[in-house]
Every structure is written in structure tokens, then in C-alpha cells.
Amino acid sequence: MTDTTVATTETLRARTRAALDRIGVVLPEGAGLHARTPITGDDLFPLRASNRVDVETAITDAAQAFRTWRTTPAPVRGELVRTFGELLRTHKTDLADLITVEAGKIGSEALGEVQEMIDICDFAVGQSRQLYGRTIASERPGHRLAETWHPLGVVGVISAFNFPAAVWSWNTALALVCGDTVVWKPSELTPLISLAAAHLLDRAVAATGAPDGVHRLLLADRDAGERLVEDPRVALVSATGSTRMGREVAPRVAARFGRCLLELGGNNAAIVAPSADLDLALQAVVFSAAGTAGQRCTTLRRLIVHHDIADRLLSKLGAAYRKLPVGDPFLDTTLVGPLISATAAKRMREALEQAKAEGGKVLAGGSEVDTGTNGAYLTPAIVAMPGQTAIVREETFAPILFVLTYRTFEEALALHNDVPQGLSSSIFTRDQQEAERFVAADGSDCGIANVNIGTSGAEIGGAFGGEKETGGGRESGSDAWRGYMRRVTTTVNYSAELTLAQNVSFL
């Protein structure tokens, strides 16, 4: 049950200091930025923000380091990432503590985020020996046609508060083995975990003798992000955040013919069919919708449930929601921590008001939990909606689960796809035909389509990302590494004749 006792800011400051000391981070003293914690809503430490000169120097250093890094053999580049992964293992709980302090994640989810970092390092080390090109059958005698993958350049990573370290590590681990160098601009809300992760990578750089400029960290406001977007030396901009942010970034990178990898908003849905195992569906729905206090881009935001089982599922769901312990994420009993800020809480309250005005009925949650601090704690909400109204079609980055009912599979699928975003999706069914139709070409239009598992919590081995307003990017596993390289097509003529393709004759 909810325990409203929250650690004091002083205790959190001491815990943070201890974790930073064990990792070896020296805080950049100065002004311009504040590390803060959503647990009490208070500031922890003043920090020196990077200025324009720092941004310029970071890009110059990374561009310089690229010149040697790109010719370092890929398996040797893998050594850097392997060493980094080992340091992540050593400091797993310290890093998780910092994630809890700054992003408000509960212990198990914070540890899970660090595990994603470790996993992507392992994946990238293996990948460093598998940057495979191919040989293609040439139509000409005595010719060889081949494709090779080469390093791309400087990668600018712009990341969000909700996965403050893992998303950077997905990009960085792959970019580094691919021979690229990285300049990172994290969220201003999570400078400490950024400093810690970057410091561990610095230590791995020093231990393996990699060039110093292979990565740089910028603790700065959006101006620094804009400079990464504008600078022609930044070959790829990998940006995670809102669709609004993506709309600003994409055309500016395109205008200079740079590459973009976008991970933007989601409005993820699950269809629960009449044949579903309701207990399994229930567990998956609660984790996906209320986990991380609804602040994952993969959070379940829409539940599309068959009319015949709606009452049964909703009464189980309501009961589970009413028991969800909300509070200090450092308490072992807590499952739902704070929202990131008072602004996020205000947006949640406004979204609930709008939902009610659009005919919605709040079935559970949506109320404040008073902890006597400045932290923003709200109980996750379930709202029954009469249809897919304006607020349901928007991504509100908070734990609100909208419920819609359906009678035919076609109706469910149409509702499912009728939103502007396309990140993650799932269906709960024991009907194999229905499951296959959901993941088929005319089924879910998302980048992730799951069966009998929730929308959030993807493994790193698959490609991660989505379609439509989610931005189309793919990160982490599968062949996402190709996004960090440039492809070269080579035709070698080893005959003594000059044969032109397409039977063209000349001279």
C-alpha cells in the first residue's frame, strides 16, 4: 500500500554523493544548471553548464578523433566497448541509484535500465566482428561487385530524461564499434547520471588507449542541441523526445543533407480479445501502463478491450490499480514513483479534465498523493472513453490508461491504427489467426507488434523504433548498426577487357 514517507533531500544528496564518489565523478563546479530530484522536487547540486565554446570544442575533438578511430580495426574498437561494459557491471547499483535520484524510477526498473546498457555493450562487442558487407553477382565477366560498410563520422545524440542512460548507450556502443565518435547532449533534467556514464566511458577510453575525443558530453540547454543539429560535421543526429522536437530537428538536419535517427512519441495500444488469458493480460497491462509512472515512450496508453470481457477485465484492473503503491522510489515496496516535474503533473491533471469533457469516466486513480515534499506524486488513472477522442489521440507523458471497447477484430484494428503515432503495440489472444493477423502487413502499423506481452520493456536484441509520428528510426539490436555507417559499392574489373554494363558499346 502507499507509504507517504519520502527520503529527505539531505539524505538523497548524501546517497548521490556516495554513488558519484564510488564511480569517481568530480562534479563540474559553476553555474547555469542544477541537478535536481523529482523524489522531493528539490535541487541537489549547482553545476557548470557547457557554453558555446565547449560545444564547438566538443564537436572539433570528436571530428579529430574520428580520423584515427575510423581506421582502428573494428574488433579493437570493440575492446573499448567491452571495457566500458565491465565498468557498468562494477557500478551497476551506483548507476541505478543515480537514475532513481534523477528520473524517479523504482530500484528494479533503474537496475533494468543499467542492464540494458550492459546488454547493448555485449551486443556491440559481438557486432564489432560482424560488420558484414556482401559480394554481389556481377553481370559482367571478370568483375567483382561488392558492398562494404565504413564509419560515418560524428554522431550527435540528444536524449530524454526517461531513459537517461540506456538510450545514449544504445547509440554510443554501436556508434563506437562502427568507428564513429559521439557528442552527447542529455536532458537537462538528468545531468548526474550523464556525468557518471560518460565518466565510466572516459575510464574505458584511458584503459584501452582509444583516442580521447571518441566521445564528449555537453551539459547544456537546447541551444547545444541546436548546434549539433546545425553543424555539418555531425553526420548523424540521433534524437529521442517528443514529436514536436522531432518536427524541429528533422527538416534542419535534412536541409544540410545530414542523417537523422528519430525516436519520438508513442501512443501505444493493447487489444484484449475474448479468448485472452485475463490474468496474464492484467499483469502485462498494469506493468506497461503504470510502470515507470507512465513515462516510457513504450507506455501502454490505450486499452482496446472486447465488449464481452470488458467488465470482468476492468474490475480486475481497477482493483489492481487501487492497490498500486505510489511513493518514494527508493522504498522496496513502491511500484510507482514520482512524475518528473510539477509541469508533468499539471499536464496529467489537464489531460484528465479534457478526457472528462470529452465524455470520459475516471474508473480509478488520478489523485494527488501528498508526501509533504515538492515531489509530484499522482495515482495512475484508468479512464473509460466513449470513443477515440482528441485527448486519446495525443501522447500525455503520464500514467493515464484510456479504455475503449470493440465488438469485431476489424473494429479493434481500425481503432488501434487510427492515431498519428506508431511505436509499440500488442494483442492478448489465444486465437492464432487473430494473433497472426495483428502482426501481418495489414495489421498493427507500429514498429513493435507483440503477442501476449505488453507494449513496454523491449529487449535490446530487436530493432527499436516506430513509424508515422514516431519518426521511423531504429536503434539497438538487429541490423540497426547500419544506420551508423556509410555503404560503399565497389566494382572491380579483374579482366583485361573493359565491358560496359547494360550491353552498352562505346568506342
Segment holding 137, helix H or strand E: none
- Within 10 angstroms of residue 299's Cβ, the number of other Cβ atoms is 30
Active site residue 263: yes
Q: Binding of ligand UN1 at residue 396 (CB under 6 A)?
A: no
| Minimal distance, residue 162 CB to ligand UN1, in Å | 5
Nearer CB in complex with ligand UN1: 220/458: 458
Binding residue (CB under 6 A) for ligand UN1 from 290, 297, 352, 384: 297
Q: Binding of ligand UN1 at residue 177 (CB under 6 A)?
A: no
CA 15 vs CA 59, 135, 248, 321, 338: distances in Å: 33, 55, 38, 31, 18
Binding residue (CB under 6 A) for ligand UN1 from 37, 162, 169, 379: 162
| Minimal distance, residue 51 CB to ligand UN1, in Å | 28
Q: Binding of ligand UN1 at residue 168 (CB under 6 A)?
A: no
| Minimal distance, residue 458 CB to ligand UN1, in Å | 3
Segment holding 238, helix H or strand E: strand 234-240
Q: Nearest to ligand UN1 by Cβ — which residue?
A: 458
> How many residues of this chain interact with ligand UN1, rule: CB under 6 A?
11
Can you tell me the distance from the alpha carbon of 271 to that of 274, in angstroms, rounded to the nearest whole number?
A: 10
Which of 79, 102, 113, 263 is flagged as catalytic? 263
Q: Binding of ligand UN1 at residue 457 (CB under 6 A)?
A: yes
* Beta bridge pairs of residue 256: none
Can you tell me the distance from the alpha carbon of 2 to that of 71, in angstroms, rounded to the nearest whole number?
A: 56
Q: Binding of ligand UN1 at residue 163 (CB under 6 A)?
A: yes
Closest of 72, 257, 160, 101 to residue 170, by C-alpha: 160
- Side-chain-side CA neighbours of 178 within 13 Å: the count stands at 30
| Minimal distance, residue 85 CB to ligand UN1, in Å | 17
Nearer CB in complex with ligand UN1: 375/457: 457
Nearer CB in complex with ligand UN1: 240/429: 240
163 CB-contact burial (10 Å; exposed 0-12 / middle 13-18 / buried 19+)? buried
Q: Is 12 left (phi over 0), alpha (psi -120 to 50) or beta?
A: alpha
Nearer CB in complex with ligand UN1: 345/458: 458
Strands 361-364 and 381-384: antiparallel
Q: Binding of ligand UN1 at residue 421 (CB under 6 A)?
A: no
Q: Binding of ligand UN1 at residue 127 (CB under 6 A)?
A: no
Residues 34-93 that bind ligand UN1 (CB under 6 A): none
Nearer CB in complex with ligand UN1: 211/471: 471
* Beta bridge pairs of residue 134: 147
CA dihedral 110, 116, 122, 124 (to 10 degrees): -130
| Minimal distance, residue 103 CB to ligand UN1, in Å | 11
Q: Binding of ligand UN1 at residue 458 (CB under 6 A)?
A: yes
Q: Binding of ligand UN1 at residue 296 (CB under 6 A)?
A: yes
For the residues of 440-474, what is the DSSP string, one character each?
STTS--SSEEEESS-SS---TTSEE--EETT-S--
Q: Catalog residues that contact ligand UN1 under the rule CB under 6 A.
A: 116, 162-163, 167, 240, 296-298, 456-458
Catalytic positions, please?
263
